[in-house]
């Protein structure tokens, strides 16, 4: 079936976090994500989410840069073009470099529209096989060790199968040791978000000491553009290194694996520019027997549903960052809400597309800016 987009609407939506979240670089208490509604000439629609952060601390893109790239480049390239498959839609913006978060948002909308109008579950169209995905939580840095113990206890009690802790220099070993002592068997990992450097001897000795803690992995200890130093570090550590910020394309993944810079890869749909590239990284890792898991950006329900779908592929053998919506937000913008039951989330095989429906009323209630782009003209309005 061919599609030709008649209009694309952007909604800049703000949701407050239930609890502020701190990483090695910054703290946030709410998120602004861009929700994307694409409609084709027949009236069929699909939703996507651009999960860019408002700030350039995780990567160089921001909400505002994504809005600009979507409005001025990606959407005008796509509007009015006829396509049969989301990969064909994505080819209309192949001249645009980088800006993967913006691309991912629009590509997810195309996948949703494509599978929804074909009556197919997105997970099925992507080649998924799992009926449920194992869910994990990612916990921010707490001001005290007692604070993190309280957080871990809460989510272990709820049945989450993997605990990820954000760490940074000075807020690392004492926190991890305390958790490991209390829960000797829990699947535990740490995410440094590039906070360490091999030039600093204290950092190096901290990273070496992680080997005593039986961690599943240490995620992105070094700089986002440094797969060479990661290879040097991995050669010294027994703990597997997982790369996140370093992997933007399947080519990055291949180079990192060739250099032995990591033994695990975090697949993030946004960072990779969409579901198709995420699947390519999955396929490469599967051929090389490298385990993968799905990372998150505290997505609202639309982006979270895309994460659930990609996580149903067979190579996602490790629990990812995908928790129920209620872990981050009091009220999500999709129906039904995405829920975890004893650490697992059901893949919505019986429902077409993303399997969760965007609730326009709740989106509009939380919308701070809205833009309609049509094949012929565009209008902007402030909510």
**Catalytic residues, which ones?**
166, 268
Q: Which stretch binds Mg ion (CB under 5 A): 46-54, 75-83, 106-114, 244-252?
A: 244-252
Check if the beta carbon of residue 270 is closer than 8 Å to that of residue 87.
Answer: no
* Binding range to Mg ion, per CB under 5 A, among 81-89, 191-199, 208-216, 298-306: 191-199
Cβ atoms of residues 173 and 209 within 8 Å: yes
Burial of 86: CB neighbours in 10 Å, binned 0-12, 13-18, 19+: buried
CB of 331 to Mg ion, least distance (A): 26
244 contacts Mg ion (rule: CB under 5 A): yes
Q: Is 191 in the site for Mg ion (CB under 5 A)?
A: yes
For the chain, give the longest Cα–Cα distance.
Answer: 62
Q: How far is the CB of 223 from Mg ion (least distance, A)?
A: 13
Kindly state the tokens that stand for 50.
Answer: 């651009």
Nearest residue to 279 (alpha-carbon basis) of 102, 122, 92: 122
Distance CA 323, CA 321 (A): 6
Q: Which residue, 293 or 300, has its beta carbon nearer to Mg ion?
A: 293
* Cα-based distances in Å from 62 to 19, 66, 277: 22, 6, 21
| Stretch in the footprint of Mg ion (CB under 5 A) among 21-29, 66-74, 219-227, 335-343 | 219-227
Q: Which is nearer to Mg ion, 9 or 191 (CB)?
A: 191
In the complex, the smallest distance separating the C-beta of residue 145 from Mg ion, rounded to whole angstroms, is 22
CB of 242 to Mg ion, least distance (A): 8
What is the crossing angle of helices 275-287 and 100-117, to 10°? 90
Query: Among the candidate windows 95-103, 243-251, 305-313, 349-357, which touches Mg ion by CB under 5 A?
Result: 243-251
| Of 90 and 265, CB closest to Mg ion | 265
Contact present, 125 and 114 (Cβ < 8 Å): yes
Compute the least distance from the CB of residue 193 to Mg ion, in Å. 6
# binding residues, Mg ion (CB under 5 A): 3
Q: Which residues of this protein are in contact with Mg ion, per CB under 5 A?
A: 191, 219, 244
């Amino acid at each position: 079936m061919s599609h030709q987009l008649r209009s694309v609407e952007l909604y800049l939506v703000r949701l407050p976090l239930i609890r502020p979240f701190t990483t090695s670089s910054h703290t946030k208490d709410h998120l602004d994500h861009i929700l994307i509604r694409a409609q084709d000439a027949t009236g069929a629609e699909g939703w996507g989410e651009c999960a860019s952060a408002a700030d350039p601390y995780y990567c160089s893109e921001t909400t505002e840069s994504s809005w600009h790239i979507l409005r001025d480049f990606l959407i005008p390239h796509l509007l009015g073009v006829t396509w049969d498959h989301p990969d064909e839609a994505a080819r209309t913006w192949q001249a645009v470099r980088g800006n993967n978060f913006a691309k991912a948002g629009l590509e997810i909308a195309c996948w949703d529209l494509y599978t929804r109008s074909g009556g197919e579950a997105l997970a099925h169209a992507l080649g998924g096989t799992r009926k449920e995905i194992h869910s994990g939580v990612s916990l921010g840095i707490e001001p005290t060790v007692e604070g993190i113990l309280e957080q871990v206890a809460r989510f272990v009690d709820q049945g989450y199968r993997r605990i990820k802790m954000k760490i940074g220099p000075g807020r690392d070993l004492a926190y991890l040791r305390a958790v490991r002592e209390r829960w000797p068997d829990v699947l535990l990992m740490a995410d440094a978000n590039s906070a360490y450097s091999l030039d600093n001897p204290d950092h190096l000795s901290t990273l070496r000491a992680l080997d005593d803690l039986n961690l599943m992995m240490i995620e992105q200890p070094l700089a986002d553009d440094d797969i060479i130093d990661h290879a040097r570090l991995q050669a010294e550590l027994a703990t597997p290194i997982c790369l996140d910020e370093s992997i933007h394309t399947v080519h990055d993944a291949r180079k990192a694996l060739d250099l032995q810079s990591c033994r695990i890869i975090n697949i993030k749909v946004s960072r990779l520019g969409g579901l198709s590239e995420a699947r390519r990284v999955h396929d490469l890792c599967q051929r090389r027997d490298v385990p993968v898991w799905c990372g998150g950006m505290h997505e609202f329900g639309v982006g979270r549903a895309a994460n659930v779908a990609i996580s149903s592929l067979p190579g996602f053998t490790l629990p990812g960052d995908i928790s129920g919506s209620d872990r981050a937000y009091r009220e999500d913008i999709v129906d039904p809400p995405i829920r975890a039951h004893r650490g697992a989330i059901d893949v919505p095989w019986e429902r077409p597309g993303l399997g969760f429906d965007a609730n326009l009323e709740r989106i509009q209630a939380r919308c701070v800016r809205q833009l309609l782009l049509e094949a012929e003209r565009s209008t902007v309005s402030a909510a």
